[in-house]
Structure 1
């Protein structure tokens, strides 16, 4: 992009003699790559002295690493405190634009899709999104806790027993707010966690000795129809074990439906959902695929990201 050789300062101290010599030799337009800052144990502690050492090599602090913006480390927060100008790069600017606008000022109907393994990983996101969305689609392993809360049999599926009451509360909250909360009405199951032939259940109940590994075809149709009727879609977390070919159909169908939309904003919230969309070949068809897993999740939770807060407001 810059048509410049990138000089790597091989220095296990990160800011030692090799790094300083490389920086001193720089001319306008040159690029020097420092050693991984985690070579220094002070990095993750946001320790002041290491932050000062990093800052001593620069005049302006530019953070363009959205994927680590939720961490208060020396390289994301501390170094900027010792430089007068602290700005974001184009990637962070793009992330804030699409994630921010999608949640704050969505074109409606606004649908959020949440998947992944655990309800506990998405508690704050669920609560935040129920204040904003028209439709909330639940899939992945976390769906079975909700199904148990509805009184369905879930076999040996992943479940968080201590979150069943919470799931009931969220279903009640969705109803009170007029949010359509969609849960599986059938499932693709197996008697072991392996890429074996899927058994499709008649309804949401899962037989004893079987575990849910993907949403079923009726659920897939329900979810895809909801996606097709939406103008803004934010997706975080796959619908099933997409790494297994026999259990990637739900994730594939949702990704395909989103990719086909031409008059809607489609945002993929990083992490496993981004990996799934890219692996299935639909990444370039989405409006935006976030580079941040934990960062995008915390952003959707409404949290302030330390790496963003540390920047100048301009």
Structure 2
């Protein structure tokens, strides 16, 4: 494990300081996880730069988090969402920076559209599972908004995982955030994938919960129908049943929040702990 020059120069350089984190670049073949040490790991595969914040614990549970779209004041990459949640969860903690964001400064969300990005995140999680001698059923995956896209994409590559996607875009082109499509295309993304790009007709996800803020009317109207149409096409039309799949709504306790606001931290953590 070494402090690589990629942190200081080149297209993936960053001014973000590691602070108390152990920061290093490696590859999957040489990656050796360390227990109980908050770490910032970087893996570069071609033009895909995957930055990972993780804390490995001896629990059998592994919590994996996607990255929301960036907002003002959160533009310096990598940006790791929900790291403060790690001490409150009874398992290993992993959160990713979307490699797509390195394509340009105008991007506030990447929706994991960079070819090979989801696959590299998948390989990293698989490496952790192998190291800990665990099955993918030990995974608990969560994301909100753009992170919800990530969570549902990962439900396809880890169909035995328990997944919660909060206020997700499932199809960016046909979502309220569609204005990002032109920005992504100008950054070099030619094909826009939906979350169902990663879902297999022969390996349906077994435990997925899609939740929407009841006031997020634009997402409910645009995304829910897409979810059910794709599930019908992939599975029900082929007589394949999903064991545990739900779409539901909730109300934020603070009604002053905008409609496209995720469920409160305390509620989500409580749900995740019960999975």
Tell me the TM-score normalized by structure 1.
Answer: 0.32
Q: Bigger relative contact order, structure 1 or 2, given CA contacts below 8 A and separation 6+?
A: 1
Larger radius of gyration: 1
Tell me the TM-score normalized by structure 2.
Answer: 0.36
Structure number with higher strand proportion: 2
